[in-house]
Structure 1
């Protein structure tokens, strides 16, 4: 059991005309983060069905240090740079886990 995980919900609104490009960059960044970073426990992205350019990402990191290390990785910095003109709004919400389970 992880003692002090960092759990965050990112709420984004993407320029509708850039949505497919954004989704491809997001998928690339999530795959790299989970594969390459031990401290990234999970990243899950979904879109709001009635407003597909509204994206939600549930982020779970092993610790604050793991989260801060994630922000400095080449794949995250590439994602931030290449999506900068696509993101109309970004809100980061710190959340407290109640129950989080997944099958292996």
Structure 2
């Protein structure tokens, strides 16, 4: 896949009563996306210390086409529909990476 990377941060707040179910659904979605979609380069989920209902995702896609394809996959649509009533706020922030590093 060619083109400019699509990198974004998603800031979510989850209804605390649904937090465990949300985390299970998020884990299932991320594992499927990484396993099945070559254009999904990285999906990382973290919670804010002392505020576990505040979730931050760092998403990296090979390009815009890969990102748009991801939004149409059965595993993403399942996640989106199943968590709709759990997410109280969602903010998507597109970012330009300065440096991205990691070890295999």
- TM-score (normalizing by structure 2): 0.97
Structure 1: 5+ residue runs without aligned partners? Answer: none
Structure 2: 5+ residue runs without aligned partners? Answer: none
Instruction: Say whether 1:47 aligns with 2:15.
Output: no
> What does residue range 15-54 of structure 1 map to in structure 2 within 5 Å?
15-54=15-54
Between the aligned partners of 1:33 and 1:56, the Cα distance in structure 2 is 17
Aligned-pair distance for 1:3? 4.8
Aligned-pair distance for 1:50? 1.6
Aligned-pair distance for 1:94? 0.3
Shift >2 Å, 4+ stretches: none
Instruction: Provide Cα deviations, 1:6-35, integer angstroms capped at 9, x if missing partner.
Output: 000000000001000000000000000000
> What does residue range 88-99 of structure 1 map to in structure 2 within 5 Å?
88-99=88-99
CA RMSD of aligned residues (A): 0.9
Between the aligned partners of 1:14 and 1:7, the Cα distance in structure 2 is 22
Aligned length: 103
Between the aligned partners of 1:66 and 1:3, the Cα distance in structure 2 is 10
- Paired position in structure 1 for 2:73: 73
Aligned-pair distance for 1:102? 1.1
